[in-house]
Amino acid sequence: MSAAEGLLAEARAWLAQDPDAQTRAELEDLVARAESGDEDASADLASRFDGRLAFGTAGLRGELGAGSARMNRVLVTQAAAGLAAYLREQAGHDDEPPTVVVGYDGRRNSHVFAVDSAEIFAGAGLRAILLPRLLPTPVLAFAVRHLGAAAGVMVTASHNPPNDNGYKVYLGGADDGSQIVPPADADIAAHIERIATESTVDALPRSVGYETAPESVVDAYVDATAAVAPAPDGAEGLSWVYTAMHGVGWETFERIVATAGYPAPTTVAAQIEPDGAFPTVAFPNPEEPGALDLAYETARESGAELIVANDPDADRLAVAIPDAAAEGGWRRLTGNEVGLLLGWRAARLAADGGRREGASLACSLVSSPGLAAVAQHYGLDFHATLTGFKWISRAPGIVFGFEEALGYLVNPDTVRDKDGISAAIAFLGLVADARGHGRTVDDLLTEFGDTFGHFASDQISLRVEDLSIIGRIMAGLRERRPERIGDVDVERFDDLAEGVDDLPPGDVVRLHLAGGSRVVVRPSGTEPKLKAYLDVRGDTRDDARERLDALREAVGALLDDLS
């Protein structure tokens, strides 16, 4: 059989088990065109069946469409069956079947994938609980612990492009509601592969005997999150803007804002309701240029003091403040700026509450080293982890964790994952408290710098067509081990592939520079990019900015030379 004949046979076998009329029609058309000699159709087919969409520590995530390399009902059904087999294996001979709770957001096919999963879990003899409607990812993460579930699945692609969807897995029990990490991911993937090889999805047992979670689960999340930062006196009269970025955050967040006692925001009307087409943004990620333009416009019209934004599944938070020097009069704070302010808040609360012993702050190794300075100041432990909240959430004694990509864990007693809603309430509390003392967010940033050092951060992102360039740069850094970057001495070179500071091995190099600066370089885990994270510490804010500018130029030149 030729490669072309093998590809067509694979596509027909997929068609025979696909329960979705839309993806069947999509694939039938491609097969017919490929059979007639259409080279474009053959190339499209090859792309769709170029291996399987990998199940890893983030579960599944990819473009919607027919084929083993896309997100669709066949792939999701196999993933659910594989997870069910893993959970039954872990449960052993327990009398009670494992419980799995399933949530979903407003993306295309999220509800369909969630119901498929619940039916497969129930058909496998598990107790399956479906959340009552589309809800934020943090509600699902909360529900895993609240319901004592063995696992949870959230159908979401977070802030990915509109035509993507995903499948995020959490584990209960000893994992305490955190996202999966090795070896669980590989064990689940092995079960999925076995089921995909041995069976077709139409032969897998299903049952409509799953449960729908009661509203009390959502109520409990609302109450727990509102308690993170009840409104202080300074909240009265606070004028602020909120956008849900066409996602699912507003319904839940609105209740929490009212319960906590904050004034209602002015909402970005065009973005407040869930819409999986994301019609007003090119990319539904508040970090992307232009994503907050409507929020800025709304803030100018309403005379707001603050902008708060969630990404579509509300597990991330973006904040913007007035800035006369910025184009349009508003500036989005970096993830590091927000993370350091929230970390400072958490450290004060831990110290004031007598929780210094064993309490810790944690962040990913590419996030600002300023958090370590805060922990040291308050006598708390500090942990730097690999990127991702699957690692941050597992830091011993954690009271707060963050990563620079707008993710914050502020309420670890209830949610062991990033939570853009509880982070928003915590930040509102910071703003309102400062406001009550006649101060602004910018004043807080200045005070932070005066107390702990003026930290500034940036990122160089090198997108490549040829992936070998990334390997060449990483190999060059390891071979050369630069002794200087620009005019600054390199005091220590860490190759995390060799294992450093008890971190799991990873394709990351970290350079510690004189004067407290740092450079971390790693390949992106999701895109054809090399990323360099730059951090400096200055005596003043202006000094930090000047050091950062010089470091950015020097690192850019180094990467160009190595490529």
* Amino acid letter for position 381: D
Quick one: 27 exposed, middle or buried, by C-beta within 10 A (0-12, 13-18, 19+)?
buried
> Of the candidates 178, 154, 226, 227, which has an alpha carbon nearest to the alpha carbon of residue 398?
178
Rounded CA separation 217/198 (Å): 38
| Dihedral over Cα of 26, 29, 35, 41: its sign | negative
Location of structure tokens 């915590």? 426
Q: Is 495 helix (H, G, I), strand (E, B) or coil?
A: strand
Rounded CA separation 446/434 (Å): 13
Rounded CA separation 371/382 (Å): 8
209 Cβ partners below 8 Å, 6+ apart? Answer: 122
What's phi and psi for 272, nearest 5 deg?
-85, -25
User: Is residue 239 flagged as an active site residue?
Assistant: no
Residue pair 125/86 in contact (Cβ under 8 Å)? The answer is no
Tell me the two tokens of residue 113: 């994938």
Location of structure tokens 């190099």? 509
Residue pair 156/104 in contact (Cβ under 8 Å)? The answer is yes
The active-site residue, picked from 117, 158, 178, 364, is: 158
> Of the candidates 534, 525, 529, which has an alpha carbon nearest to the alpha carbon of residue 507?
525
Beta bridge partners of 382: 361
The residues that are catalytic are 158
